[in-house]
Amino acid sequence: MAEHKDHEYEDEAVDQERTDPVWCVVANVAENTVFGEDKESRKGTKHFSPGTKVYCFPPLWGDGYVNVKVIGRHRGSKKYVTMVMPAKHLTNWRSKLVYSPYVTKLLKSHWDGSEKSKRRSAELADWKQTGVCSGFSFVARIGLALNELWQRFLGNR
């Protein structure tokens, strides 16, 4: 699952560029996570310390946001990394306007500073935080509910 790519925070070319802020979903890595077949408990995840702030891409594939592509500071190097991780390892979901030139450059093809991005990120964050998808269309809600049932079925096998 750990698709990741290291990114140097001190990338001069990125820091020199002027970037506009973007709205996106932001979350924190959970204090304790469970992983593996033996259901081992760990503080944070292999790549992120507990509480690490991660910037989330919007849903990029049809898994109902079960796995999320994120950008965050790696627990070892403290450099930004981009990877896909289980949403169940994230908490404190919220919508935020991001100003970091480095992060905005990576997110700008998916998020922007518009009211539409603000609304979409707020709806996603609210749904992940509360489990209620009030801002989504009826068809999208049905799809998300079916996906959640399917994920539960797979987890019980």
- pLDDT tens, position by position, 89-129: 898 999 999 999 999 999 999 999 999 999 999 999 998 88
Whether residue 27 contacts residue 92, with contact meaning beta carbons closer than 8 Å, is answered with yes
Q: Within 10 A of 5 (CB to CB), how many other CB atoms are there?
A: 10
* Tens-place pLDDT, residues 32-59: 777 767 777 777 778 888 889 999 999 9
Copy the structure tokens of residue 127.
Answer: 């749904």
Residues 24 and 60: their CA atoms lie apart, in Å, by 14
- HEC-encoded secondary structure of 28-63: EECCEEEECCCCEEEECCCCCCCCCEEEECCCCCCC
Q: Check pLDDT > 50 for residue 24.
A: yes
Which positions ≥6 away from 38 have C-beta within 8 Å?
A: none
Whether residue 11 contacts residue 102, with contact meaning beta carbons closer than 8 Å, is answered with yes
pTM of this structure = 0.74
- Model pLDDT, residue 33: 72
- Model pLDDT, residue 9: 43
Instruction: Give 11's pLDDT tier (boundaries 50, 70, 90).
Output: very low
- Model pLDDT, residue 31: 79
Could you write out the DSSP letters of every residue in 105-126? Answer: HHHTTT--SSHHHHHHHHHHHH
* Tens-place pLDDT, residues 59-85: 988 888 889 999 999 988 888 999 999
Q: Check pLDDT > 70 for residue 136.
A: no
Domain spans of the chain, in order of start: 4-155
